[in-house]
């Protein structure tokens, strides 16, 4: 069953009545009440360079794999835009445009083969997507690296007191500095153990300065204490902290560290924002280019299958349909009935690409079997729609 989340492309031989194809079909669908919210329009199927039968057979074998790569490339751009725009459907719709048109309008409102980009005398496989995909990957990797660095720096400032940076928490007055014999340590104590700490810290080692511990800060999980000890018992005291499940914070007071950290964070934020803007602009531009290439490839599949099924001359007419999700089954039934006159010309043909539903990058198993089936008497290809 074709997906109701796709645009359906249909091609049939031009038997001299191309102008009446759409009006006749529309009349029949309206009579059958199969057209409540279905959009349907003409699709100009170009007369491409067909080559020999062997050429077409070879291309028909290769097109599903190319189609899958194109599908994946377009989907990755959409996913990139979705993530950049925080999954906002309104903003996503504004950025998934093709030549400043909505994707559906691009196909349904007078689509024509772009001879400037894709000459009709060139190879049917000569539609470029690799460079677009490569540029997107490189820019996305750069952005993800910058974003990862920023997130890491932000986590250091926002984690609990057992892990976060302490440069903006402590002050110079919290430390004994420039002493030959004494040092001040910082200890993160679980919130439930603060009374226990205050009662026993002086006895954790033999040379702890009495009444030297002060609470500096607290959050939902930990309290941060300072404590002054003699340097010679540092290792002993650290061992006792571990045994009591207190966390010794490895920290050296540095008056310049906070300023340095703030500058690094600001620089990282600017870098991430600039790369975000660059990636958004590139994604929007490349989506338009990629989707156009994608639709042209789908029309190539439509053309190749039509020649293989109906034979020369390569003269076909087409339709583009956006089905109503609530009436898609009925629509398929009516289309099959309307084009049943093509059955004698379809029998015995090998419907390579007949399903056209290459909306996944996997090409084995069920998909391979589906590609071998003849499902309809008319040639049918699907273009997955962008779901905002």
3-state helix, strand, coil in the chain (%, to 5): 50, 15, 35
CB atoms within 10 A of CB 337: 12
Average pLDDT over residues 80-93: 95
Q: What is the pLDDT of residues 63-73, one digit of tens each?
A: 999 999 999 99
Per residue in 341-350, pLDDT (tens digit) is: 888 776 555 4
pLDDT, position 347: 59
pTM: 0.76
What residues have CB less than 8 Å from 231, skipping those under 6 apart?
181, 182, 183
Nearest CA among 337, 356, 321 for reference residue 104: 321
- Which residue, among 66, 63, 132, has the nearest Cα to 288 in the 3D structure? 132
Q: How many CA atoms does the CB half-sphere of 200 hold within 13 Å?
A: 13
Give φ, ψ of 268 to 5 degrees.
-65, -40
The 3-class secondary structure across 358-385, one letter per residue, is CCCCCCCCHHHHHHHCCCCCCEEEEEEC
Residue 96 near residue 81, CB atoms below 8 Å: yes
Reported as a single tens digit per residue, the pLDDT across 282-338 is 999 999 999 999 999 999 999 999 999 888 888 899 999 999 888 888 888 888 888
Q: Is the peptide bond before 39 cis (omega within 30 degrees of 0)?
A: no
Q: Which domains does the chain have, with CATH numbers?
A: 6-145+271-384 (1.20.1460.10), 174-253 (3.30.70.100)
Burial zone of 193 (CB within 10 Å; 0-12 exposed, 13-18 middle, 19+ buried): middle
């Amino acid at each position: 069953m074709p997906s109701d989340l796709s645009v359906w492309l249909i091609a049939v031989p031009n038997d001299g009545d191309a102008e009446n194809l759409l009006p006749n079909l529309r009349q029949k669908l309206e009579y059958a009440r199969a057209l409540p919210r279905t959009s349907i329009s003409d699709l100009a199927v170009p007369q491409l360079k067909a080559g020999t039968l062997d050429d077409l057979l070879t291309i028909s074998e290769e097109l599903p794999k190319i189609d899958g790569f194109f599908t994946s490339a377009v989907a990755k751009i959409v996913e990139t835009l979705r993530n950049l725009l925080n999954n906002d459907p309104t903003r996503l719709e504004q950025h998934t445009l093709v030549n400043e048109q909505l994707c559906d309008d691009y196909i349904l409102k007078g689509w024509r083969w772009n001879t400037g980009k894709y000459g009709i005398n060139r190879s049917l496989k000569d539609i470029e997507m690799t460079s677009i995909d490569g540029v997107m990957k490189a820019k996305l990797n750069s952005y993800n690296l910058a974003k990862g660095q920023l997130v890491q720096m932000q986590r250091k400032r926002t984690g609990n007191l057992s892990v976060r940076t302490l440069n903006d928490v402590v002050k110079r007055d919290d430390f004994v500095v420039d002493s030959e014999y004494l040092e001040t340590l910082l200890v993160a104590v679980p919130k439930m153990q603060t009374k226990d700490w205050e009662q026993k810290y002086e006895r954790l080692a033999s040379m702890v300065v009495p009444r030297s511990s002060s609470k500096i800060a607290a959050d939902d999980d930990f309290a941060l204490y300072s404590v002054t000890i003699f340097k010679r018992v540092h290792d002993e005291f650290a061992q006792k902290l571990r045994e009591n499940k207190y966390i010794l914070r490895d920290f050296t007071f540095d008056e310049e560290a906070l300023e340095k950290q703030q500058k690094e964070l600001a620089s990282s934020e600017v870098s991430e924002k600039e790369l975000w803007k660059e990636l958004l602009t590139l994604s929007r531009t490349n989506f338009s280019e990629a989707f156009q290439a994608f639709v042209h490839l789908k029309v190539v599949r439509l053309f190749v299958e039509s020649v293989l099924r109906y034979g020369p001359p390569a003269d076909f007419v087409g339709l583009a349909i956006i089905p109503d999700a609530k009436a898609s089954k009925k629509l398929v039934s009516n289309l099959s009935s309307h084009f049943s006159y093509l059955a004698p010309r379809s029998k015995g043909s090998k419907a390579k690409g007949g399903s056209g539903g290459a909306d996944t990058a996997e090409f084995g198993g069920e998909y391979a079997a589906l590609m071998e089936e003849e499902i309809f008497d008319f040639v049918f290809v699907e273009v997955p729609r962008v779901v905002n």
